[in-house]
Amino acid sequence: MANIFIDETTEDVVDTIKQTMSVKLDEAGAAAVSFATNRGKGSGAQQIEVDSFDEYVAALEEVVHNGLPEQVSYNLSPAEMVRETIRNVDGMITFRVRNGKGSKPAKIPADRFSEVVSLLRSTVDLVEKAADSLAESEDSE
């Protein structure tokens, strides 16, 4: 079924929060506040444990008072980028080594992660030697 009349109006964010904010117990039995900032495709409710809500609001207040922080992630080294982005998503370790258009995350099954890291460690000297030989062949040309 397709809607013939597509509503292009955007609901006011303050109204949406006021209409959707509630406090309830989450799956773990902790009190959580839930609210939406917008509606429609690609949007969903924010859910934050009440114990973290004050700190969450304080972080947003910092942005109001100081402006958005600079996006330093584009200047991070690959190691720093891994530290910033590594996650376990449904048994798959994912991380990025760079940001930006076209960058794709590495995906490694969690049960093979240690093995993969050991393999990469075993190649460090070989990779460095290969790079040195490339540099030497460039110099000799």
Q: CA-to-CA distance for 126 and 134, rounded, in angstroms?
A: 12
What confidence score (pLDDT) does residue 74 get?
61
User: Each residue of 94-123: pLDDT tens digit?
Assistant: 888 777 777 778 888 888 888 888 788 888
User: Each residue of 80-93: pLDDT tens digit?
Assistant: 888 888 889 888 88
Residue 83 lies in a domain: yes
Residues 23 and 61 in one domain: yes
Residues 58 and 88 in one domain: no
Residues 17 and 60 in one domain: yes
Residue 127 lies in a domain: yes
Judged by DSSP in three states, 2 sits in coil
pTM: 0.48
Residue 115 lies in a domain: yes
Residues 50 and 86 in one domain: no
Residues 50 and 93 in one domain: no
Residues 46 and 95 in one domain: no
Q: 84: domain range?
A: 73-140
As given in the structure block, the two tokens for residue 98 are: 């760079």
Residue 130 lies in a domain: yes
Q: Which of 31, 50, 66 is the last residue of a domain?
A: 66
End-to-end CA distance of the chain: 66
Residue 1 lies in a domain: no
User: Each residue of 38-55: pLDDT tens digit?
Assistant: 777 766 778 888 888 888
Q: Is the dihedral of CA 13, 10, 64, 56 positive or negative?
A: positive
Residue 79 lies in a domain: yes
